[in-house]
Chain A
């Protein structure tokens, strides 16, 4: 059996570290809102909220909503 090259080991280590980093980032504790969004004023500095734009499923999935 041939000796495994340093390059290969280093590549696998880098990819493993990335995977571990990704796994840890997915386990972040979700933040809790200070106050419900409904309580935020619809008029801010001359701007008025006119509609509540719905977010797509993929965006909601990415944001990992905490209800």
Chain B
């Protein structure tokens, strides 16, 4: 009994050598991969098509290679954990299968796509164990952000966000001395009226900044609590930077319509993302320094 843990540890830290795996391992792996390809081939092809054709979702193209890269860089941490296959992981596999079927029966895209990530997590848990799954939490979480929000959710929050951005931008423009009034999501200026369209609701920058907050949290912050806080902050921040964008368009349009509706309108999307990213990075750095300082004083 006393020697068991050390034997287990020796087995766990042994480098994973694919050449040492027997024929049975490869056959079993191929069968599982075959099932995944048949079930998810069209689901993932549809997803890739959306990334390619929808500019608002194009960040999804970067996420799978990034998640793979992060998983690969953490391979020593993952393989240093003992491999303890667990039957409990089967519940997660079953849950993923159920989500897949529900999505297919309902002709819905979000559930089958998300079930792919859950299935991967379930397979890791089942065949490698919970400890190894824990080391892969971040890459899997990042992979989950490749799936666009469900349309029903998008439609439900885009209209209130459009109205909020219009209202806030009108108030801010008035404070800045611009003669402006709002009618629904239309901002009326002296010489031009601006419609705050669905694309200007801030939802597009929201998904991009949520992914950015995960990456910044992973790269900059040590503590899980700060990473969660950073992720939560990305939501109000993206709404706020979008309000600044719409306000900027209204104020500039009052003086220089062509510039506001041309170059600025296209460029400000990038500007908003870079601004939001910089603020998030600053917050992450500040919080990390604060917690390090507090920990240093406590020590």
Q: Known interface pairs A1-B24, A25-B104, A63-B107. Does A16 touch B46 (Cβ–Cβ under 8 Å)?
A: no
* Neighbour of A6 across the interface among B35, B87, B97, B101, CB < 8 A: B87
Closest approach, in angstroms, between the C-beta of B280 and any C-beta of chain A? 34
Which DSSP category, helix, strand, loop or mixed, fits chain B's interface? helix
Measured CB to CB, the closest approach of chain A to B47, in angstroms, equals: 11
Please report the C-alpha to C-alpha distance between residue A29 and residue B123 in the assembled complex, in whole angstroms: 34
CB distance from A37 to the nearest CB of B (A): 19
Contact A15 B39 (CB under 8 A): yes
Closest to A20 in B: B101
Q: Answer whether residue B32 sits at the interface, using C-beta atoms and an 8 A cutoff.
A: yes
- Given contacts A12-B31, A12-B32, A58-B49, is CB(A22)–CB(B39) below 8 Å? yes
- For window 98-118 of chain B, which residues contact chain A by CB distance below 8 Å? 100-101, 104-105, 107
* A11 lies within 8 A of B39 (CB): no
Interface string of A1-28 (1 = CB under 8 A from B): 1101111101110111111011001000
B85 close to A22 (CB less than 8 A): no
Which of these, B87, B100, B104, contacts A7 with CB under 8 Å? B87
CA gap between A7 and B126 in the complex, in Å: 7
Determine whether the beta carbon of B31 is less than 8 Å from that of A18.
no
Q: Answer yes or no: A62 CB below 8 A from chain B CBs.
A: yes
Residues of chain A within 8 A of B164, CB atoms compared: none
Q: Which A positions have Cβ atoms within 8 angstroms of B? A: 1-2, 4-8, 10-12, 14-19, 21-22, 25, 58, 62-63
A to B CB contacts below 8 Å, 26 in the list = A4-B24, A4-B28, A6-B87, A7-B85, A7-B87, A7-B89, A7-B126, A11-B93, A11-B123, A11-B126, A12-B31, A14-B90, A14-B93, A14-B94, A15-B36, A15-B39, A16-B35, A18-B39, A18-B97, A18-B101, A19-B38, A21-B104, A22-B101, A25-B104, A25-B105, A62-B107
